[in-house]
Structure 1
Amino acid sequence: MGLTACGGETAATPEVEAPAAEPVVEATATTASVSEPAAETKEPVKLTFWNNWDSKNGETIQALVDEFNAQNPDIVVENVFQPYGEMTTLLQTSVVSGTNPDLVALDLILIPQLVATGAVEPLDGYIAADAEFDINDFYPLLAEYDVMDGARYAIPMSTNNMQLIWNKDLFAAAGLDPEVPPATWDEMKAMAEQCQNKEQGIVGFEYYTQPTGEGITWQFQVWLWANGGEFLNADNTAAAFNTPEGLGALTFVSDMLAGNGSQPGPWGLFGEQKACMQLDGSWLFGYRADAPFEWGIAPVPAPEGGQTASNVGGEHIFMFNNAKDKEAAWKFIKFMTSAETQLKWDMATGFLPVRKAVGENPEYLQWVNDTEPRMLPFVEGMPYAHTRPATPYYFEVSDAFSREIQLSLLGEKSPADALAAAEAAVNEVLSQ
């Protein structure tokens, strides 16, 4: 092109014309006459995510899903609400028919039933290959739940736990310092005895005693763990509670229920200002905020020289092994359980941190202090919060256990006899 522009004489010189003019003209002609094929547009991967969060929690999870989709234009995650009471049936049916979602956030206690079907994808390989993902940042007692038969199937995403709540007005009326809760079992029993008022129908400590079922099991496990005991053995094949630690825990509770600071009765006395203390969960801020009495939260009392303990609930996230794109599904799991996302999630919903990076985050702790300082014992209790055994037979185990233990709580059987009967009943379930 340059040679042509300078005039005919220069263009006629063969030594210059051949190497310079031909390639340039050829390139120009090619550019003008041949158009490159348009790059093929790849359809984004579409994944379905089931969960049972609604109301404010539902709005928050939708906003986080939208954020993930905006950051990952090659992936589209559809957020689908499913009612809690129908979730298990819907999932089991969908697994059988092959129409299951790609991803699910589910109550942790329900996950072993799905793992037992063989339809849940193990996550160990994804974690090992992802240098940015630190499984050790999750609270160990919580994260250990997801390891079944040597493989990890889920990641904690939301949680809650139980701590002691006390009625400051009833403490003051009984001559107790309303700002000083009990820290040990002995203190708890002494304060409960002083605070109870049988003439007014006030008990010192409200235990869950009826009906049988998970309510009894869920709360008794707290005292068992605080006393150094375990509920099932390491591989969840046999009862482990019929021990000196278990006997000490059940004796402590049963003795108080014999009129020494407590008594059997219907659940709900604390809300009616008929109980000075009880165990309650971090969800209580939803219905205690406007209570007509002053109340406080403290760590679960422990035996002298023992360690406080708690019981957790919450949802864990996992993928099925027929997910349409497992790498994309892992990317979503990683996003939802990241410290950055979890900080937003916890501050928007009131769920407790599943990661130390959030629970120890100055921004989060300042938010707790500004929003609801009474949440702090729940946050500080996460390192001591246990999970129930990860077995698909847990509900059958819990029912069998509670039926026998209730007899001791009601004073109809000695703690030793009740534990022995509960051990036999639980082992019978597990042997099936």
Structure 2
Amino acid sequence: MKRFSSRRFPILNDDDRRYSMTSRPPHPPTRPAARDVSRRAFLAAIAAGTATIGLAGCTVISGGAVADDQQGLRLSKDPAPGRAHVVEMYNIWGGTLGNAWVELADLYEQSQSHTGVRVTYAPLSGNTQIRLQTAIAAGTPPDLAFCTPEEYPQFAGYGVVEPLGARIAAAGLGAANFAPAVWKQMTATDDIYAMPVLVDVNFPMFWNKKVFASAGLDPETPPKTIDELEAFSDKILQKRGNQVTRIGTVPWDYYGFSNSMFTFGFAFGGKFMSDDNMEATPDDPNIVQALQWMVDYAKKVGGASHLSVTSPSQTLPTIASGNVGMAPMTTTDAQNVYRSGDKAKVELGATLFPYAEGLGSPGSATWLGGYDLFIPKDSKEHDSAWDFLQFATVSDAGTQSNFKYGTLLPGWSDSPVLAEFQKDPNIAVYREGLLTAKNIRPTIPVASTYATALDIQVSSAIYGQITPERALAKVKASVNAAFDEFRKENS
């Protein structure tokens, strides 16, 4: 593989708000040829409700409305005056993360004099970006918008996303500049259509040392394999009648049934897509074995409906209750437990998720999600949008700003932010997971169909309504039928 040299930007600190880019041309020199695309398919999909840009899967950072103690945060901004170009970015995030993108836009404007940035707060309706979808369908989209890595293939298939591959190559960027699984996400389609702005490492395993000690386990030794995970869980389990009052882990509740299935499927060495990424393979024998393990575990503890480990008023993740021994967590949830958890009940340790010996391998359970920025095809300022996109994703200053204001983990492996993650023992495991991960959630145009089918069928198996084999066969049939229909309609 040819090694590309990334373009580096100077590091910006709080005492030096100036940012010189005199060596950078006003815009990157290349622009890929436009595709011959009609919006008719996308308009029809919007009308039918089958096109959705939402926040599928787990979330690294929770947004939400601005709380009373965060009233100073900004979620929108006007562009700097007197600029030859103005780009608009839709900001779906509330709270500190929404403010982080305004801070980044301010910093970018200080770095050059040709482009201003308008940040427009466009929050979700449920899990869907209604304002963005409507703007795309009307042919008046913003210049930059967010999506998850597994969502953009649907919109690329409809022809409403600007391809970036030629621009990325012209900027001297390639596989060597990104974590391996991030590059795999970026290149899962016929071109590259989006750049990672925050990477979701799914999932490190956290264990509660207090629970381990109480159960007679070594509080400094986490499980390395699935067999150890089960053995430790056996010792931790406590029941009152038929109610589980303390449990080792809850393997079907890792941020939903589909995310749980991806985690255990990868831990067991399973493959959710064919090598050519053209067929869903949830019936892979290793994935079936993983779901069987989850089902057997549920039976062993007395059934998934018999958990009584947290109080209704608890807002922190379940591991903070002191009644759960092991659980995966996102960066935000982990930080919240470290910061706000009852020290008498919880003392966390962190490690990579266990693997099934003989099937998976150390670290194989880790998979990546997250969020990307993309350029809608019908937007008017492609060159300026690309310039901002590079600043946000592959510059020292941009990635440092997002880390400072939003604790965002970048996909760009040359970012100095990764060293900051390494220094903090509470979050260092996420850096390790990013750099060693080999797996990604299926990146196909019907990814939302895949996740929904897993949610339905895996839950049915966990609750004893269907066998694992039958559940995953049904997932395969529904996903591949939807995939075939998409290809037929957009051929």
What range is the shorter-chain TM-score in?
0.7 to 0.9
Amino acid in structure 2 at the alignment position of 1:277: M
Q: SS in structure 2 opposite 1:329?
A: helix
Aligned to 1:91: 132
The 5 Å alignment of 1:251-400 reads 251-259=292-300, 263-265=304-306, 269-288=318-337, 289-292=339-342, 293-304=346-357, 306-308=361-363, 309-340=365-396, 341-358=398-415, 361-366=418-423, 368=424, 373-382=425-434, 383-384=436-437, 386-400=439-453
Identify, as 1 or 2, the structure richer in helix. 1
Which shifted more, 69-78 or 308-317?
308-317
Structure 1 residue 264, shift from structure 2 partner: 4.8
Instruction: State the Cα deviation string for residues 248-291 of structure 1 (Å, max 9, x = none).
Output: 21222222222169845569653433321122222213531211
Amino acid at match of 1:379: R
C-alpha contact 2:208 2:349 (8 A) present in aligned 1:
yes
How far apart, CA to CA, are the structure 2 residues paired with 1:303 and 1:149? 30
CA displacement, residues 71-109 of structure 1 (integer Å, 9 cap, x when unaligned): 221111112222133652211211121211011133334
Cα distance in 1 for residues equivalent to 2:484 and 2:119: 40
Report how far residue 429 of structure 1 moved: 3.3
The residue matched to 1:84 in structure 2 has which SS? coil
1:22-73 deviations in whole A, cap 9, x for unaligned?
xxxxxxxxxxxxxxxxxxxx95111111122332222222122112112221
Q: Does 1:219 find its partner at 2:272?
A: no
Amino acid at match of 1:405: V
What's the counterpart of residue 32 of structure 1? none
1:114 aligns with 2:155: yes
- In the other structure, the counterpart of 1:409 is 462
Give the SS at the match of 1:205.
coil
Deviates more, 1:300-309 or 1:117-126: 300-309
Alpha-carbon distance in structure 2 between the residues aligned to 1:261 and 1:141: 37
The alpha-carbon distance between structure 1 residues 80 and 273, as it changes in their structure 2 partners (threshold 3 A), is same
Within the alignment, does 1:423 sit opposite 2:473 as a pair?
Answer: no
CA distance in 1, matches of 2:147, 2:418: 26
| 3-state secondary structure, aligned to 2:93 | coil
Deviation at 1:412, TM superposition (A): 3.6
* Letter paired with 2:259: W
Q: Does 1:250 align with 2:294?
A: no
Residues 128 and 324 (structure 1 numbering): CA distance in 2 closer, same or farther, change over 3 Å?
Answer: same
How do 1:137-286 residues align onto structure 2 when only pairs under 5 Å count? 137-147=177-187, 149-161=189-201, 162-199=203-240, 201-208=245-252, 215-259=256-300, 263-265=304-306, 269-286=318-335
1:182, 1:301 within 8 Å by CA — same for their partners in 2?
A: yes
With over 3 angstroms needed to count, the CA separation of the structure-2 counterparts of 1:217 and 1:307, relative to structure 1, is same
Paired residue secondary structure (1:78): strand
Alpha-carbon distance in structure 2 between the residues aligned to 1:108 and 1:327: 22
Q: More deviation in 351-360 or 284-293?
A: 351-360
C-alpha offsets along residues 222-243 of structure 1, whole Å, 9 cap, x if unaligned? 1111222111224544321212
- In 1, are the aligned partners of 2:87 and 2:118 still within 8 Å (CA)? yes
Give CA-to-partner distance per residue, 1:282-303, whole Å, 9 cap, x none.
2213531211122222210012
CA distance in 2 between counterparts of 1:193 and 1:261 reads 12
Distance 2:418 2:481 in 1: 46
**Seq. identity, %:** 25
Task: Pick one of 129, 140, 143 that aligns with 1:102.
Answer: 143
Separation in 2, partners of 1:209, 1:374: 22
Between the aligned partners of 1:219 and 1:72, the Cα distance in structure 2 is 45
Aligned residues: 382
> Which stretch has the larger CA shift, 220-229 or 257-266?
257-266
Conserved? CA contact 1:405–1:422, under 8 Å: no
Deviation of 1:344 after TM superposition, in Å, equals 3.2
Structure 2 residue runs without a partner (length 5+): 1-81, 311-317, 486-491
Q: Is the 1:397–1:429 contact (alpha carbons within 8 Å) kept by the matching residues of 2?
A: no
Mark the CA change 1:357 to 1:262 in structure 2 (over 3 Å): closer, same or farther: farther
Conservation of the 8 A alpha-carbon contact between 1:48 and 1:103: yes
> Which whole-Å CA distance do the structure 2 matches of 1:348 and 1:278 have between them?
27
The corresponding residue for 2:100 is 60
SS of structure 2 residue aligned to 1:358: coil
Residue 452 of structure 2 aligns to a residue whose secondary structure is helix
Could you report, residue by residue, the CA deviation over 1:114-169 in whole angstroms, capped at 9, with x for unpaired residues? Answer: 223212110011112223x4453111212322335411101111122221122221
Distance 1:143 1:80, change over 3 A: farther
SS at match of 1:304: coil
User: Does the aligned pair in 1 maintain the 2:261–2:454 contact within 8 Å?
Assistant: no
Quick one: distance in 2 between partners of 1:321 and 1:412? Answer: 45
Go from structure 1 to structure 2 and tell me whether the alpha carbon gap of 1:263 and 1:43 turns closer, same or farther (over 3 Å shift). Answer: closer
State the shift of 1:183 in Å: 0.8
**Alignment CA distance shift 1:148-1:384 (3 Å):** closer
Using the alignment, how far apart are the partners of 1:107 and 1:84 within structure 2? 14
Match of 1:44 among 80, 84, 98: 84
CA contact (8 A) 2:223 2:354 kept: yes
Counterparts of 2:109 and 2:98 in 1: how far apart (Å)?
17
Once the two structures are TM-superposed, the CA of residue 347 in structure 1 deviates from its matched residue by: 3.8
**Counterpart contact for 2:450–2:475, Cα < 8 Å:** no
Moved more, 236-245 or 376-385: 236-245
Distance 2:303 2:207 in 1: 14
Q: Distance in 1 between matches of 2:251 and 2:281?
A: 23
Name the CA distance, whole Å, in 2 between partners of 1:261 and 1:183.
Answer: 25
- Any stretches of 5+ residues in structure 1 without a counterpart? 1-41
Determine if contact 2:177/2:412 at 8 Å carries over to the other structure: yes
Cα pair 1:196 1:261 within 8 Å, conserved? no
